[in-house]
Amino acid sequence: MKLALLILAAGMFVGSPHCLAENTLITSMDELRFQSPKEKATAQLVDGKVGKAIQFKFEKEARSAFFTSNVHGTPEWDKAAGFSFWVKGDGSSSLGGLQFIYNDDYAARYDVAFPIKQTEWTKISVAWSDLIPVLPDKNNKPLGGKDGNQPSKLSGLWIGKWWYWGEYPACSFAIDDIRLEPTIERPAKEFKTDRPALRHVRDLLKAGKPVSVVTMGDSLTDTHHWANRKVDWPSLLKEELQKSSKSEITIINPAIGGTQLRQNLVLMPRWLEKTPKPDLVTICFGGNDWDAGMRGEEFFQSMVDAVNRIQRATDGHTDVLILTTVPGATRWETTAELAEACRKAAKDRNVGLADLEKAFHVAGKDDPNALFVNDRVHLSTAGHRLVADSIFKLISPMNQK
């Protein structure tokens, strides 16, 4: 059960019976039908769960290294709920990655990550809607369903990790017997808690109990980014919360500079493995999404999907706090529609909202540059402090009635 939650980070699809042909095999993996990348990765045949399997081995720093194949979807794929495969990992805490190209269009890619910690053969099931479209585009819709893209047009099954993963440790895993599944049991498509937004984390802080916070984000949150090495808002938030309550605050920061919201949804198993049920997850994205072509309605749908995946993966335990897209000094009004999409998503999903766009506009009305470092994009100490203060005011016991 835990494995399924970590693999899919929030499976979205409840499969219904379909009439599939008796032969549901996509590929037996009994022969090397995957083309190896030019460097830093090799594949070989090994003993499998059934017959042979293919072991994929990646050297350290194997960035954007993919084993490619010409596996294409067929009409039978549209009748399936998804697919399954067997995996045998190397015992590490790393992840394996699987990617489909859609309709032979390399700008349309669907990704899923899976654990490789298990050293015995383990079956993994992936509903079509578990695959995440990692690039913004009006044609990159979720897979399956009445309004989604059809799985029969999937092409180019690839094994590997794309640029946004951030971490590329040496690892290896074997895969066997990839086949269609007529049904895959999943929680309902939408998960919505009945409790008031942020009630759980507020109650914990008020009672002085331990609180764990996951801060999903891009370079505004990533402590490895050059602009954040001296000060960062997650650390400031931790300091403020610990001063105002008796709670022990643990920050888990999976943020990766240069990345977009949906790419970080693929990587959710990375922090779920360490913290299966955090008390609070903050979501702070928008700048890179905008640069990649993401716009309001698509961002709203992506944010709703993010909330649903987080709450399903944590069985509704976790409070979610959406942070509206932070405006840069060079584009003070440009990303307004992304901020509005965040507000709309928070209301739709009944989760917390920290309106950073509004806070920055108020604080920077006379001089927005003071909130940013010299590139006028990334946060200065004042900018980090403003983010931390905005979140603190929402959840601190001092502000509870």
Contact 76, 180 (CB under 8 A): yes
**Pairing relation of β-strands 105-115 and 132-133?**
antiparallel
Unique residue bearing structure tokens 């794929």? 77
The angle formed by the CA atoms of residues 11, 131 and 308, to the nearest 5 degrees, is 40
Domain residues of the chain, as ranges? 2-181, 199-399
CATH says 2-181 is which class?
Answer: mainly beta
φ/ψ of residue 161, rounded to 5: -130, 135
Confidence of residue 65 (pLDDT cuts 50, 70, 90): very high
Mean per-residue pLDDT for 129-150? 91
Burial 43-77 (b: 16+ CB within 10 A, else e): beeeebbeebbbbbbbeeebeebbbbbebbbeebb
Q: What is the pLDDT of residues 158-192, one digit of tens each?
A: 999 999 999 999 999 999 999 999 999 876 667 77
**124-134 pLDDT tens trace:** 999 999 999 99
CA 316 – CA 115 distance, rounded (Å): 22
Give the count of alpha carbons within 13 A of 301, CB side only.
Answer: 13
Whole-number Cα distances in Å, 335 to 206, 211, 294: 36, 32, 10
Q: Which two tokens stand for residue 37?
A: 């990348």
Q: Is the pLDDT of residue 10 over 90?
A: no
pLDDT digits (tens, 9 = 90+) for 302-321: 999 999 999 999 999 999 99
Ordered alpha helix ranges (H), 95-148: none
Rg of the chain, C-alpha, whole Å = 22
Q: Which residues pair with 167 in a beta bridge?
A: none
pTM value? 0.93
pLDDT of residue 18: 47
CATH superfamily of 199-399: SGNH hydrolase (3.40.50.1110)
